[in-house]
């Protein structure tokens, strides 16, 4: 099953909230969510990398699912939608890169950021989701702070992230799942090489 089909199947079977169908239609018809990468080069920097990463985060989150207290709908919403801020966010081009094994220059893809709606990261995802469906407070907190210490506000000294993690276990679980997926499960998923010192770029013609 392709990632797009798997995403749609999970989303439609688990999310019954008002506005869910409209959100899914928007993702399919008005964004590049299902074809976009998840990063410029670090993980899932490949076609459909964003939806691949989203499914991975959801499945990883389910390792901490507690049937007595947790809502699977919340896990689906947080896992699958936490990074919709990256839709319509990247631009793909190609450049010449020297192959160290052959010594030849090769045309390889690379991604750059072309943010059409510079509204932040987690907060942008919350804003976009709530244009269609209402988030529970725990879901909004989880998506807002899923970047953990990498969040710009947190790096700037904002203390709200600690309070969110103390009050909302869902926020902790989403962050841990995102971190685990990125650094453990998604190694080798990028078609774009990380910027290593020996990856020399050819002069532009």
Residue 143 placed within a domain: yes
Domain membership of residue 171 (yes or no) is yes
**Which token pair is 100?**
């160290």
Is the model's pLDDT at 202 over the cut of 50? no
Sign of the alpha-carbon dihedral angle for 61, 63, 65, 67: positive
Q: How far is CA 149 from CA 62, 66, 159, 166, 175, in A?
A: 22, 25, 11, 15, 10
Report yes or no on 190 lying in a domain. Answer: no
The count of structural domains within the chain is 1
Q: What are the backbone dihedrals phi and psi of residue 93, each rounded to the nearest 5 degrees, phi first?
A: -140, -175
In angstroms, rounded to a whole number, what is the distance separating the alpha carbons of residues 98 and 144? 40
Q: From CA 116, how far away is CA 176, in angstroms rounded?
A: 28
Residue 94 lies in a domain: no
Q: What is the mean pLDDT of residues 12-25?
A: 98
In a domain, residue 162? The reply is yes
- Is residue 45 situated within a structural domain? yes
Alpha-carbon gap, residue 197 to 189, rounded angstroms: 20
Residue 21 class from Cβ within 10 Å (0-12 exposed, 13-18 middle, 19+ buried)?
middle
Q: In terms of residue numbers, what domain contains 62?
A: 3-89+122-185
pLDDT confidence of residue 95:
82
Residue 29 within a domain:
yes
The answer for residues whose C-beta is within 8 angstroms of residue 57's C-beta and 6 or more apart is: 79, 80, 82, 83, 174, 177, 178, 181
Query: C-alpha angle with apex 78: 194 to 163, nearest 5 degrees?
Result: 95
pLDDT band at 205 (very low <50, low <70, confident <90, very high): very low
Q: Is residue 57 part of a domain?
A: yes
Mean pLDDT computed over 182-189: 89
pLDDT digits (tens, 9 = 90+) for 31-66: 999 999 999 988 898 999 999 999 999 999 999 999
Helix ranges (DSSP H) in 90-203:
122-129, 137-144, 152-155, 160-167, 169-180
| 92-110 residue pLDDT tens | 888 888 888 898 898 877 8
The pLDDT of residue 92 is 86
Kindly report the CA angle at 161 between 66 and 80, in degrees rounded to 5? 50
Strand ranges for the chain from DSSP E: 90-98, 105-113
């Amino acid at each position: 099953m392709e990632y797009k089909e798997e995403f749609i199947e999970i989303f439609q079977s688990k999310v019954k909230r008002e506005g869910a169908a409209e959100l899914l239609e928007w993702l399919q018809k008005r964004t590049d969510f299902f074809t976009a990468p998840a990063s410029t080069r670090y993980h899932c920097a490949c076609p459909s990398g964003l939806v691949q990463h989203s499914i991975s985060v959801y499945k990883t989150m389910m390792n901490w699912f507690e049937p007595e207290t947790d809502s699977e709908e919340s896990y689906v919403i947080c896992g699958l939608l936490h990074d919709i801020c990256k839709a319509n966010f990247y631009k793909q081009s190609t450049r010449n890169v020297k192959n160290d094994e052959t010594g030849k220059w090769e045309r390889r893809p690379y991604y750059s950021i072309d943010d059409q709606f510079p509204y932040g990261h987690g907060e942008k995802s919350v804003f976009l989701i709530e244009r269609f469906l209402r988030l529970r407070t725990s879901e909004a907190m989880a998506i807002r702070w899923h970047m953990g210490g990498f969040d710009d506000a947190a790096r700037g000294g904002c203390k709200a992230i600690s309070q969110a993690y103390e009050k909302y276990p869902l926020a902790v679980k989403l962050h841990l799942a995102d971190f685990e997926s990125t650094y453990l499960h998604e190694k080798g998923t990028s078609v774009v090489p990380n910027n290593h010192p020996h990856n020399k770029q050819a002069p532009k013609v």
